[in-house]
Each structure stands twice: as C-alpha cells, then as structure tokens.
Amino acid sequence: MENFWQTCSAQLEQELTPQQFSAWIKPLAPLDYEDGKLRIAAPNRFKLDWVKTQFASRITALAAQYWEETIDVQFV
C-alpha cells in the first residue's frame, strides 16, 4: 500500500504544478487496500470533493496500472 502511494504521488507530482500537488495531493492519506478497493482519506470535505472531481480518474488509472486490475477508489 505504501509503495503504491509513493509511486502514485511521484507520478502526480510530475504531472501537476507544485502548488496543485501541495494543495490537493500531499494532504491525502491512503487508508487501506482490500479486495480491489482502495480507500484514500482527505483532511476535510472541501478537499475531498475537489480531489474526487479533479483527480479521481487519474488516481484510479494509476491504481489500476499498479495492481494490474480494476480498482474501486473510494475517497473518505
């Protein structure tokens, strides 16, 4: 799990501006991965909603690539 988040974060850091990465991705925390479900926590509702609309598809794609299967990413 930690390896995935390091890989995902590193990729997003390359794709986003430093300000975007610091504001939206860095505050996220991976909680767990089980049975094809990945849960990621956001520090507050505002960040949760923004990340879901702006970055969920990219994080889901990176997770699917990492685990080589379809992943259900849940933001909490």
Mean pLDDT value of segment 59-70:
95
Per residue in 12-46, pLDDT (tens digit) is 999 999 999 999 999 999 999 999 999 999 999 99
Confidence of residue 2 (pLDDT cuts 50, 70, 90): confident
For the chain, list the domains and their CATH numbers. Answer: 2-75 (3.30.300.180)
Does the pLDDT value for residue 5 go beyond 80?
yes
Express as a percent the part of the chain with pLDDT over 90. Answer: 97
Beta-strand pair 37-41/72-75: parallel
Q: In the structure encoding, which two tokens stand for residue 6, read together?
A: 């390091």
Mean pLDDT over all residues of the chain? 95
- Contact status, residue 73 vs residue 63, Cβ threshold 8 Å: yes
